[in-house]
């Protein structure tokens, strides 16, 4: 049984946080940088151990404060300095300057929004943890003195934002002990739509056949608005055609030739693109004069695009042109001194020229021409396409010794060409006696500790700014040696070269000295100190044995390493027998003996033709026999022809490695009488080159083989080997594709080798033959428009050369290609399932030619052209597919077409579907729960979705035992639920809203212990409240009175 109880709450709440932010499309990436001094015993190895990617997005317009602008510099190719690995800083113990993880984005905030907060996001990482400050229009915001501002982990929260006080450009400045970096600019803009003036509008009176312009005079607004016109009463909208045009630039309604049906009342309707708010103007009456009909007159262009149109590359350009005239003028467009872009589209009865995905080559002079029987009128304007700055070269993190020279170069492209500025710790860097900034190159001569800090390079043009970054570490540390150089003993043999490594890490670079014993080592022809500090000894002898010491010294300290050198006698090897010739089936033992320094251990390795012998995989033919410590034998049993080759023995000691080889010849018994001086080799392949050797043998043994004979080629002959694996291949309609394996050169038997392809329709008598003259050919395609798809043919392929025709392959049956599908799928339907999913289903006409191997679905957004469509394929007889990863609240166009190996069939008629709005971003707020044993009663505030989010259809309560991944779900349309916790343990409970766009953001987790039925009385019950708002919550809790027993 459940306990009925009443709860009285008075809540004082502030609104939830709302973000209206949108990334700028097509704007390149920016970066951040630090330059700092690192003292103590830090080494390059430790500095290289952290990873710190420096990526951030740019903003439109200038990025630094207006007062910070300096002389702009152009970049050339950057010089790579001694730079750090990009994988440094994974170790939390390594300190480093701040790096942006998230930078603020532009925000448009609706003034009528129920949300009363704006959040400008900023997050950085660094060690120590960075702190944050914010600038508005270049001036620091005093967060402490204004209660409307607050900082949450770097993000700036503005409560009750005001356009008068808060609109402008914002930047985040993040700092730790190593310096500061400045974020890109984010623009805070307010969206609103005012009301039209209530003043009555005068009637407009014209003669029939005359042109007229009805003025909209829109109210104050921000940002853009969309214009439409209502005729007489809502919702009867004016339909645009060749005679009527609504300009989205001026908002005015243009009627080129007034008719009697146009008489009436006209109302301008404007809609804010962000808030979706709409307002109507007062009506403007349109009447006809009674003094006659207007005669014909030439066109007069009333609305046209500007003389100069600027557009960002990749955006869509729309240019308007409309004329008054009688008869109604015809509008046409052309690009002067060129052709209209193939992707250009004409809208609104050719009154609008639209160029999607505009590129630099689309720039130029465009002409709009209005023409009727009385004359014509022309307007021309220039389209200029610009690009945002984009990095061609980025900076590299760099470390230098004090006194070295720094040279950084960053290089960007853009139109107009970008200029460059440099920041140090977030403020402008100016040229000084040691600091030069020329053409995008920053040079600092003789760096010192005062140059440490965070540096940023800015590339900017009038349309945007990007940041690049690098970290300069000025090392100041005593010498230290890595562990891999602490080798104590080096063993070599007489005559070898000895290299003793000595590469201390230090800054500045240390001075190296070497000692042997207690004496300083002097360089000579045999003994050299290499540039990096290591010692090299040539032609080592016993006199070079001893203890060597390397010492590195700089102003901060010294370090040393010690190594002992031992010189041994070189190892020698004896491999017997030196040359062997055996007959198949015989056996042999190869003996390998090492003569070496008695203080060294030896290891033996056997090879065949340079490859190690695998004794376990050679079928028992090989066995390694270790007779003594200084020798080893290789037993080869039951020799086969494949065992012929070069056998090697390699001996390895701690000081050296030596090897030797012997050759094993294997012959097949084929003896000729000793008194013969010639023999004939038979059954050789025609037209193949051979060489011969002769070996003499008697009962004592076998002598050495003769030198090879000259190369002899056998005579040509008719080929005897036909092609193998004759088969069919996929092709296009009306094609028969025949394939085979080419005959190798040794079986072609002569020059002029080729193929004879013979084929005939199944059941007919005469063969059709085609010659293929290439000896490497492996395919022949026969095309005949009269051949239906899938017609069976008998096929055989023969061979020929200059001596004549050879045999044919066995006859096989091959079908002609079926061709690509001829019919488009029908009954195509697209159904929106969620914010990112659309289900596409279709039917295929089975009687159509060209059996489909699968289907391809093309889909593109409403504002895109079909050429930019995404494509996804199905295989087999699938008749539906689920498209995923789509954008929310977006209209998509879709087509379906069949395909097979021959190609694609025609596409279906396009269908349309819009994805659902996004699920609610806000979690259920102020969750309250009370527990009674294993029962938990929950309640929460309803979720109110934003304007661009799906409506709430209900709620889900998800709960699972701690440590498990699978959750149980309770669905409800109320703002309360009761959860039964069946087992003993701690449970995790979450609540989220459910919408047609999917599940919304889940509430913070609640951890509730379960006592599996343990009774908790009302006196023991406790009301828990989980507030998800930063506002205060006041609770007045009435006494809970059980109405029934549990």
How far is the C-alpha of 390 from the C-alpha of 411, rounded, in Å? 9
How far is the C-alpha of 183 from the C-alpha of 133, rounded, in Å? 11
Helix and strand numbers, DSSP H then E, in the chain: 2, 84
- Tell me which residues of the chain have a pLDDT lower than 50: 1-88, 1013-1021, 1028-1046
- Beta-sheet pairing, 792-801 with 804-808: antiparallel
Structure confidence at residue 585 (pLDDT): 75
- Residue 599 DSSP one-character state: T
Structure confidence at residue 56 (pLDDT): 38
Structure confidence at residue 780 (pLDDT): 94
Structure confidence at residue 86 (pLDDT): 41
Whose tokens are 């025709």? That residue is 805
Torsion of CA 1004, 1009, 1010, 1014, to 10 degrees: -130
Residue 71 has φ and ψ, to the nearest 5°, of: -60, 125
Q: Over pLDDT 90: what percentage of the chain?
A: 45
Tokens of residue 99, six digits: 């790096």
Structure confidence at residue 91 (pLDDT): 54
Task: Quote the radius of gyration of the chain (alpha carbons, Å).
Answer: 44
pTM: 0.46
First to last CA, the chain: 4
CB atoms within 10 A of CB 634: 22
Structure confidence at residue 194 (pLDDT): 92
Asked if residues 808 and 796 have their Cβ atoms less than 8 Å apart, the reply is: yes
Q: Which residues pair with 808 in a beta bridge?
A: 798
- Residue 165 DSSP one-character state: H
Cβ-count burial of 291 within 10 angstroms (0-12 exposed, 13-18 middle, 19+ buried)?
exposed
* Cis amide prior to 327 (ω within 30 degrees): yes
């Amino acid at each position: 049984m459940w306990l009925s109880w009443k709860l009285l709450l008075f809540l004082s709440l502030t609104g939830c946080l709302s973000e209206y932010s949108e990334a700028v499309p097509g704007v390149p990436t920016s970066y951040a940088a630090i330059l700092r001094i690192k003292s103590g015993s830090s080494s390059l190895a430790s500095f290289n151990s952290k990873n710190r990617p420096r990526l951030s997005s740019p903003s439109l317009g200038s990025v630094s404060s207006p007062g910070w602008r300096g002389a702009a510099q152009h970049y050339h190719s950057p010089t790579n300095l001694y730079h750090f690995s990009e994988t440094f800083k994974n170790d939390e113990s390594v300190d480093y300057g701040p790096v942006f993880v998230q930078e603020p984005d532009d925000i448009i905030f609706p003034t009528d929004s129920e949300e009363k907060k704006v959040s400008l996001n900023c997050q950085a990482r660094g060690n120590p943890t960075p702190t944050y400050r914010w600038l508005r229009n270049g001036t620091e915001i005093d967060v402490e003195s204004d209660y409307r501002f607050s900082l949450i982990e770097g993000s700036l929260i503005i409560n009750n934002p005001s356009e008068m006080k808060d609109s402008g450009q914002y930047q985040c400045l993040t700092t730790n002990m190593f310096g500061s970096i400045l974020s890109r600019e984010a623009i805070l803009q307010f969206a609103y739509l005012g009301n039209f003036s209530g003043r009555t509008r005068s009637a407009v009176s014209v003669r029939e056949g005359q042109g007229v312009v009805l003025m909209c005079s829109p109210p104050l607004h921000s940002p853009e608005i969309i214009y439409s016109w209502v005729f007489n009463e809502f919702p009867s909208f004016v339909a645009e055609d060749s005679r009527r045009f609504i300009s989205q630039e001026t908002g005015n309604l243009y009627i080129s030739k007034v008719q009697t049906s146009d008489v009436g009342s006209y109302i301008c309707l404007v809609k804010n693109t962000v808030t979706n708010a709409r307002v109507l103007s007062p009506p403007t009456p349109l009447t006809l004069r009674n003094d006659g009909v207007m005669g014909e007159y030439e066109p007069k262009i009333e609305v046209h695009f500007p003389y100069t149109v600027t557009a960002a590359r990749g955006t869509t350009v729309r240019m308007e042109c409309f004329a008054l005239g009688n008869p109604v003028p015809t509008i046409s467009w052309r690009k002067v001194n060129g052709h209209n872009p193939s992707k250009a589209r004409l809208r609104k009865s050719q009154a609008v020229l639209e160029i999607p995905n505009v590129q630099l080559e689309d720039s130029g002079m465009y002409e709009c021409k209005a023409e009727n029987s009385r004359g014509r009128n022309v307007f021309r304007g220039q389209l200029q396409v610009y690009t945002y700055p984009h990095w061609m070269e980025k900076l590299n993190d760099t470390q230098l010794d004090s006194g070295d020279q720094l040279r950084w170069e960053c290089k960007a492209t853009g139109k107009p060409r970008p200029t460059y500025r440099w920041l140090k710790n977030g403020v402008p860097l100016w040229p000084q006696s040691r600091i030069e900034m020329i053409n995008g190159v920053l040079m600092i001569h003789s760096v010192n500790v005062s140059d440490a800090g965070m540096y940023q390079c800015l590339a900017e043009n009038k349309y945007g700014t990007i940041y690049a970054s690098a970290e300069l570490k000025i090392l100041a540390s005593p010498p230290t040696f890595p562990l891999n150089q602490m080798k104590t003993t080096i063993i070599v043999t007489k005559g070898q070269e000895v290299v003793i490594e000595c590469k201390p890490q230090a800054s500045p670079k240390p001075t190296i000295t070497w000692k042997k014993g207690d004496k300083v080592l002097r360089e000579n022809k045999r003994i050299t100190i290499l540039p990096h500090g290591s010692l090299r000894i040539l032609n080592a002898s016993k006199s070079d044995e001893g203890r060597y010491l390397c010492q590195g010294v700089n102003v901060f300290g010294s370090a040393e390493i010690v190594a002992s050198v031992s010189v041994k006698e070189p190892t020698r090897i004896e491999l017997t027998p030196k040359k062997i010739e055996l007959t198949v089936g015989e056996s042999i033992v190869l003996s390998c003996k090492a003569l070496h320094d008695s203080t060294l251990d030896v290891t033996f390795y056997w090879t065949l033709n340079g490859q190690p012998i695998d004794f376990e995989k050679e079928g028992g033919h090989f066995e390694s026999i270790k007779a003594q410590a200084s020798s080893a034998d290789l037993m080869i049993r039951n020799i086969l022809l494949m065992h012929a080759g070069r056998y090697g023995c390699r001996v390895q000691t701690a000081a050296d490695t030596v090897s030797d080889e012997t050759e094993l010849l294997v012959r097949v018994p084929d003896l000729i009488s000793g008194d013969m001086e010639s023999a004939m080799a038979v059954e050789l392949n025609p037209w193949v080159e051979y060489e011969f050797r002769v070996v003499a043998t008697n009962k004592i043994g076998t002598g050495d083989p003769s030198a090879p004979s000259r190369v002899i080629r056998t005579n040509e002959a008719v080929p005897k080997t036909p092609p193998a694996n004759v088969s069919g291949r996929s092709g296009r309609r009306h094609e028969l594709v025949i394939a085979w394996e080419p005959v190798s050169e040794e079986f072609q038997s002569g020059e002029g080798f080729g193929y004879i392809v013979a084929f005939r329709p199944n059941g007919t008598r005469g063969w059709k033959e085609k010659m293929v003259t290439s000896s490497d050919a492996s395919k022949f395609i026969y095309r005949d428009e009269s051949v239906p798809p899938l017609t069976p043919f008998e096929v055989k392929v023969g061979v020929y050369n200059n001596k004549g025709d050879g045999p044919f392959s066995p006859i096989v049956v091959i079908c002609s290609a079926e061709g690509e599908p001829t019919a488009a799928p029908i009954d195509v339907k697209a159904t929106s399932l969620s914010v990112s999913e659309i289900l596409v289903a279709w039917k295929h006409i089975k009687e159509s030619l060209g059996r489909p191997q699968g289907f391809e679905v093309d889909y593109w957004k409403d504002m895109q052209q079909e050429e930019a469509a995404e494509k996804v394929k199905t295989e087999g007889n699938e008749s539906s597919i689920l498209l995923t990863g789509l954008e929310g609240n977006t209209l998509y166009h879709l087509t379906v077409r069949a395909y097979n190996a021959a190609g694609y069939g025609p596409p279906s008629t396009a269908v349309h579907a819009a994805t659902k709005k996004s699920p609610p971003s806000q979690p259920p707020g102020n969750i309250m729960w009370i527990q009674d044993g294993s029962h938990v009663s929950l309640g929460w505030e309803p979720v109110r979705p934003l304007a661009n989010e799906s409506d709430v259809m209900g709620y889900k309560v998800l709960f699972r035992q701690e440590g498990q991944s699978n959750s149980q779900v309770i669905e409800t349309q109320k703002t309360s639920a009761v959860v039964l916790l069946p087992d003993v343990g701690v449970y995790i409970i979450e609540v989220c809203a459910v919408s047609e766009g999917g599940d919304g953001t889940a509430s913070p987790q609640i951890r509730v212990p379960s006592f599996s039925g343990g009774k908790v009385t009302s006196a023991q019950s406790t009301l828990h409240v989980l507030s998800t708002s930063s506002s205060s919550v006041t609770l007045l809790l009435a006494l809970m009175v059980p109405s029934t027993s549990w």
